[in-house]
Amino acid sequence: MTRIGVTGHRTIPAAALPAVRAGLRALLHGHGGEVQLEALTSLAAGADQLFADTALAHGVPVTAVIPGMDYEAHLGAPAVLDAYRRILRSCTDRVQLPFQPTHEEAYLAAGRWIVDHADHLVAVWDGRPARGLGGTGDVVEYARRSGVPVTVLWEPGVLRD
């Protein structure tokens, strides 16, 4: 079993989406039938939900890693919450992490859990530093320090707002 985790931005500019979608499909399809895959994601808006939907479309089981906080209250718009609940119902497994003092610490703990349990990390990332504790840049840095291979998916030259 090969576990692929994800970290990434909640907002992906339209100019980056084609490259990100193609990269996710290639990554999940590229293993063919010879290797069983499992997807690890926190199901946040943007990269996490896109990764989970792509994994499910490729028949890859998804494990939801839920940060230790009132997560649903921080997911954002109703459409994001609806997508979160829809994907969560399709997940093979769910890991509820221990409560953390702040939501940023909860995001960091979830990112680290994913890295600690993944054989490979895919990062939907513009390459810039994290905007807050537990952001994509922090998780990528942790993975690299931990020796977990990282594949970055992004369209060169595209910046987030």
For residue range 10-34, list pLDDT tens digits in order: 999 999 999 999 999 999 986 655 6
What pLDDT is attached to residue 161?
79
pTM exceeds 0.85: yes
Q: At 134, is the pLDDT very low, low, confident or very high (cuts 50, 70, 90)?
A: very high
**What pLDDT is stored for residue 29 in this prediction?**
82
Which range of 29-33, 89-93, 157-161 scores highest in mean pLDDT? It is 89-93
What sign has the CA pseudo-torsion 155, 9, 63, 81? Answer: negative
pLDDT digits (tens, 9 = 90+) for 104-117: 999 999 999 999 99
